[in-house]
Amino acid sequence: MKKWGWGLLAVGLVWAFIAFNMDVTVLTESGSRVNNLGLIASRQNHIFIGAFIVLCGLLVALLGKGDSEKQVKCPFCAELISAEARKCKHCGSAVEPANEAAPEQEPVGADFVIGEGESAELNREAVKALAARYVSRMPRQQAGEIMTSNQQEISKLRAGMPQSCAERFDAALESELTALQHVWGSAKP
C-alpha cells in the first residue's frame, strides 16, 4: 500500500510541474503575446488536480500499511491475519503466532526421558510442555480427542523411549492434558 502512495505522490508532482509550465499566452495578429484567461483557468485546475494527487499520495504513503507486515492465512477460515496474531479477527478462532525467528523443533522420544536404561524416568516437565502445546492448538477439545488426533506423533515419541517409559507416557500425557484443561477452564462439561 505504501508503494502505491509513493507512486501516486510522484504522479502528482509530475502533474503539478507540468501544470506550472503550461503556456497561458496566445499569439495575436500583431505578433504580440497576451494572457488568455481560459488557459490561466485551465492551468489553475491542473495545479489543483496535481496538488490533490500529491496530498492523497502522501497520506497513503505515510498512513498506509507497509509491505513489511508479515501476514499468514488463518488455518480455520483462510483469511489473512498478522503473523503475531493469537486470535483470528475474522472467525474468532485461537491461532498460534507464527514465530520465524525460532522455528519450533519437533520433539523426539529422548526429550521426555531422564536417565538411561533401567533407571530411565519420564521427564514430567517435558510431558507438561507437550500437553500445553496440544491444549493451545486444540483448546476446546477433551483430553481423549487431543490424544486421538495426535496419535501419530505420540506413537513416534513412544518409539524413541525405553519400554518402561513408553508404557507410562500415554497415561502421564493424558493426565497433564486433563489437568491443563481444568486450569485453563477449556474442558467440555
**Which secondary structure element, helix H or strand E, spans residue 40, and what is its range?**
helix 37-63
pLDDT in tens, the chain (189 residues): 788 899 999 999 999 999 999 999 999 999 999 999 999 999 999 999 999 999 999 999 998 876 556 788 887 787 888 888 888 888 888 887 766 544 556 676 677 778 777 677 878 888 888 888 888 887 777 888 888 888 888 888 888 887 777 778 888 888 888 887 776 554 444
pTM of this prediction exceeds 0.85: no
26 φ, ψ (degrees, to nearest 5): -125, 155
Q: Are 112 and 165 in contact (CB under 8 A)?
A: yes
